[in-house]
Amino acid sequence: MRNKRLFQNKREHITHTIKAAIMDKKLWDEAIQLKEQPQLPSQPTPPNSISDIIGEDTMIYCLDRIWTDPRILSTGPVYCIDDASWKTSNELAGIGWSLHSKEDTLLIQGSSAIEPTEAALQAEAMAILLAVQQLHALYYKNVMFLGDCTQLFNNLDILSQGENKRSNWKEISTIVQDVLVLARLNNFTFKHDPRNFVQHVDQLEKRARIMSQQYVIF
């Protein structure tokens, strides 16, 4: 108002001036409230690739000198994805796993139909047990196992780091303990991974279940 009166010889109506002052005060109060609001913790960024999950330090070693395949003797980080296909407690379930190099080269895989289980969790536990047993038999060390069963893999991740901890699930406690024994012998680790990273294994296990397939490794 002052500047317009001095330099432009214009006078603002008092009503307009009051409304402008009220609007400025309102905007200022909103800005202060927004500044004082607690900042919500940022959500973790979902992984874009397997490398985001396994990191760069997971190494693979094949101790059996019979192996001569250069893919098997790779020294890069490797991971094993496993999963189960379960419908009802009256039908066969299917399990599948696949071992991959850091570059996502498929090294070896296996699949099978298994006897019906009471729940999907038991089928998931059997899938990880058979994968761990197979890679133990082939002398693999330091492999990271990945699966999309959140409860099971988060539980295995915790249990594998503590000798005296036990599974809280009675229905799969024996299976989990067998997995942990082999994991500690071979320095196997476990991580949960999103569903979109298990498509290949998903096809293996479903085919095994539908075809009542016996265990094959190739």
Give the percent of the chain with pLDDT over 90.
31
Structural domain boundaries in the chain: 2-36, 50-217
10 Å CB burial of residue 101 (0-12, 13-18, 19+) is middle
- Band (60; pLDDT cuts 50, 70, 90): very low
Q: Which two tokens stand for residue 163?
A: 């000798």
Q: Which stretch of DSSP H or E encloses residue 203?
A: helix 199-210
pLDDT of residue 75: 40
More confident residue, 137 or 14: 137
Q: Does pTM top 0.85 for this prediction?
A: no
Please provide the average confidence, as pLDDT, over all residues in the chain.
76
124 pLDDT higher than 90: yes
Q: How far is CA 89 from CA 49, 60, 112, 214, in A?
A: 34, 37, 17, 19
- Torsion angle, alpha carbons of 187, 193, 197, 199, to 10: 90
Q: Distance (Å, rounded) from C-alpha 146 to C-alpha 22?
A: 60
Give the pLDDT score at 93: 94
pLDDT band at 199 (very low <50, low <70, confident <90, very high): confident
Here the tokens at position 217 are: 């490794």
> What pLDDT is attached to residue 55?
58
Phi, psi of 12 (to 5 degrees): -80, 145
pLDDT in tens, 151-179: 898 889 888 887 555 556 778 889 999 99
Q: What CATH superfamily is the domain 50-217? A: Ribonuclease H-like superfamily/Ribonuclease H (3.30.420.10)
Q: Is the pLDDT of residue 187 over 60?
A: yes
Cα separation, 104 vs 54, whole angstroms: 12
63 has a pLDDT exceeding 70: no
For residue 114, pLDDT beyond 60: yes
If you average pLDDT over residues 70-83, what whole number do you get?
A: 61
Mean pLDDT to the nearest integer, 18-39: 65
